[in-house]
Amino acid sequence: MLEPTMLAVVVDGRWRPGIGDPTVMGWVTVAAYFSAAIACYRAAAREPRPDGTRRTRPAPFWLVLAGLMVALGVNKQLDLQSLVTQVGRDVIEGLDLYSQRRTFQAGFILAVAGVCAAALAAFLWAARHLLHRRWPALLGMLFILGFVVIRAASFHHVDAFLAARLGGMKWNWILEIGGIAAVGLAALRIASGAPPRPSRPQGAMTYHYRVK
């Protein structure tokens, strides 16, 4: 019998408010999300512009990542995807379309995959001018969004894959925590780096002196 990959707050098939994953690894994952969010927030102010000068306002790329890390950390314990699944099931049953649930499930998975792909493309576009600094964070987001799509599938063989272990680590831990670590370390590298040089006031002139 496979060990469940998540202790969802579901009672008799119905979602209930509560702690979605009260295990040690569940809380470690939440702490990792929030730590990555703090690192992203710091990186937003510390990251230099493409020309190496100091920013006058935080970088939107890192601010969006910080907000996303907080949202995913909260959702880790609220398990809102179970609520969405429950509402969808209720709607399908109310419309007497339960026999076609596989079609709707496939459509839902495709929609989630499309949203994740669009989000990744948006992040890639936002990072285009500083890709050499931001690519580890993009790789981390690829892992996290891939995990979201896999969790949305919620098929038996998918759950079996997530419960399987590689060197003592479950695949869902590898995908999720690995992605969080990549985002957090990329942000921390920028946040703890040397401060950028002050930006030159617009219209300022540069003088060159020749030493004889």
Sign of CA dihedral 41, 43, 44, 46: positive
Residue 33 belongs to a domain = yes
Residue 211 belongs to a domain = no
Q: How far apart are CA 38 and CA 70, in angstroms?
A: 9
Nearest C-alpha neighbor of 17 from the set 112, 83, 93: 83
Residue 28 belongs to a domain = yes
Q: How far apart are CA 88 and CA 86, in angstroms?
A: 5
Q: What is the pLDDT of residue 19?
A: 62
Residue 126 belongs to a domain = yes
Angstrom CA distances, 59 to 55, 185, 187, stand at 8, 17, 12
**Domain, as residue range, for 147:** 10-191
| DSSP codes of every residue in 88-155 | HHHHHHHTT-GGGHHHHHHHHHHHHHHHHHHHHHHHHHHTGGGHHHHHHHHHHHHHHHHHHHHHHH--
Per the structure, the count of domains in the chain is 1
Residue 70 belongs to a domain = yes
Instruction: Find all residues with CB under 8 Å of 2, minimum gap 6, and list them.
Output: 159, 160, 163
Residue 200 belongs to a domain = no
Residue 92 belongs to a domain = yes
Paired strand residues for 10: 15
pLDDT tens for the chain, 212 residues long, are 334 444 445 555 565 665 666 778 888 889 999 999 999 999 998 998 887 788 888 999 999 999 999 999 888 877 776 667 677 777 777 777 767 777 777 777 788 788 888 888 888 888 888 888 889 998 898 888 877 777 766 654 555 656 666 666 676 777 788 899 999 999 999 988 766 666 555 554 444 445 55
Q: What is the pLDDT of residue 183?
A: 94
Residue 162 belongs to a domain = yes
pTM, entire model:
0.71
Are 19 and 167 in contact by the 8 Å Cβ rule? The answer is: no
